[in-house]
C-alpha cells in the first residue's frame, strides 16, 4: 500500500464534477472531486454517501432544508435522500461511498 497525497491528486484535476477514485477499503470507494456550480437533484437508492469538505464551501440542498459545509465539515447523505450539491466557488471534496454506488439517479424537478 502506498500513501496517497490528496494535494497532489487534486492538482491534476482539470474538470469539475468528475470524481476520481484514490483508494478502496471494505467495499468502499474513496474519491476526490472538485466542484463549482451546481449538480442536479438526485439520490442514491441503496447507499449512504459521506461528503467531507477539504477546501471551500459546499451547500447540500435537501427537500426540508439546506446544509452548509466548510473546510473540515462532513455530512452523510442517507440512502434514498433527494439532494442537490452546490458550490458558488471551487470546493474540494473527499467522498466515501460503496463501490456499488451508481453515479446518480437524477430526479425530474
What domains, with CATH codes, occur in the chain?
6-106 (2.60.120.10)
What contacts 81, CB < 8 A, 6 or more positions away? 43, 62
pTM of the model: 0.88
Mapped onto helix, strand or coil, the DSSP state of residue 72 is coil
**Please, which pLDDT band fits residue 98 given cuts at 50, 70 and 90?**
confident
pLDDT at 103: 57
CA angle 4, 27, 98 (to 5 degrees): 95
Torsion of CA 18, 9, 2, 74, to 10 degrees: -70
Q: Which neighbouring-strand residues pair with 69?
A: 58
Greater confidence (16 vs 108) lies with: 16
Amino acid at each position: 500500500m502506498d500513501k496517497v497525497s490528496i494535494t497532489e491528486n487534486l492538482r491534476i484535476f482539470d474538470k469539475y464534477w468528475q470524481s476520481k477514485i484514490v483508494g478502496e477499503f471494505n467495499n468502499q470507494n474513496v474519491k476526490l472531486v472538485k466542484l463549482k456550480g451546481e449538480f442536479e437533484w438526485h439520490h442514491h437508492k441503496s447507499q449512504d454517501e459521506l461528503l467531507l469538505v477539504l477546501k471551500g464551501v459546499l451547500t447540500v440542498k435537501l427537500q426540508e432544508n439546506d446544509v452548509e459545509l466548510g473546510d473540515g465539515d462532513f455530512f452523510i447523505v442517507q440512502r434514498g435522500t433527494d439532494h442537490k450539491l452546490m458550490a458558488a466557488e471551487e470546493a474540494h471534496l473527499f467522498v466515501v461511498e460503496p463501490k456499488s454506488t451508481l453515479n446518480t439517479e437524477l430526479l425530474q424537478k
